[in-house]
Amino acid sequence: MDKVTTRVKASVPLKSWELSVYDHYMSPNESAATSRQGAFFDLDKTIIARSSVLAFATPFARAGLMSKSTLLKSIYSQLLFSLSSADADKTEKLRAQLSEMVAGWPIDEVKEVVNETLHKLIEPIIFEEALDLIEEHQAAGREVVIVSSSGEEVVRPIAALLGVKSVIATRMRVEDGKYTGEIEYYAFGQAKADAIIEFARDHNIDLADSVAYSDSMTDVPMLSSVGRGYAVNPDKELRRVAIEKGWKVLTFKQPISIQDRLDAVPKKSLVIAGAGVAIVGLLALATGSRKKKSRTTTA
């Protein structure tokens, strides 16, 4: 029994799935054998243990992209948003604040800050359970997609860190190398679901045979757009909806850095996986006389 099956059996009992109207968008004449499966992941509090926006707020301030007062206002707004049920008014206020905050920021400087601080800020807060699922879906040949309301310049480097190629994220308008403050696409609520449907159509993915993961009530449309929705560490409202719809409830508890995860892999497995002579040499240096004695005995 694989890890996904084990987790599912340990979670909320399955009721009959309530598929959305989007699940059957494929042409009746299209062969199921030619379609693919997808696995769509929210980012904040689903793959990583906190808000990606909050994670990079301090580095942006240090780089002079925002004032201390703007930083505090941003953190306060994000905390209020995450601690309360989201509605249209709150969503619009957050979007307006995002537009105002980033207007005039040089996009190259934003990318530089993200790249310089990515490993320090994001690696230690990745849920190990999310990494397991991503790897299992990829091994099964499913298209893994990260779907986030955070900006594309933040989400894509995080996705690359996780070995994920496909991303759906908020896009800001850029002119002369700077953000104008206008939002071209806001990946939030129903807009996430619409983008998933479009992505699935473009990549020949059968949504009825696909899965999605999120922690937030605002992602009910996203979870409803696939055959199997999973509520990860859900807020109160999402937990209620998940139980009503028969979605599985998963609990992710263990953030782990990718480096710690690699260090935990048995050295023998690393060699077999193709590390080759370089790894063997490093192991020889690390184990010193024990390796030397072994070589002498073999000779």
Whole-number Å distance between alpha carbons of 252 and 34: 33
Alpha carbon distance 102, 116 (integer Å): 19
Catalytic residue selected from 23, 42, 206, 219:
42
87 counts as catalytic: no
Residues 6 or more apart whose Cβ sits within 8 Å of residue 106: 177, 178
| Sequence-ordered alpha helix ranges (H) in 166-275 | 190-202, 220-224, 236-245, 258-263, 267-270
Strand ranges for the chain from DSSP E = 38-41, 143-151, 166-175, 178-185, 211-214, 228-232, 248-250
Instruction: Identify whether 219 is a catalytic site residue.
Output: no
Contacts of range 56-59, beta carbons closer than 8 Å, 24 or more positions apart? 56/113, 56/114, 56/117, 56/121, 56/154, 59/113, 59/116, 59/117, 59/121
Q: Identify the active-site residue in 23, 44, 219, 235.
A: 44
Grouping H, G, I as helix, E, B as strand and the rest as coil, residue 33 is: helix
Sheet holding 143-151, edge to edge: 178-185, 166-175, 143-151, 38-41, 211-214, 228-232, 248-250
3-state SS class at 214: strand
265, with CB counted inside 10 A (0-12, 13-18, 19+), is exposed
- Which positions are annotated as active-site residues? 42, 44
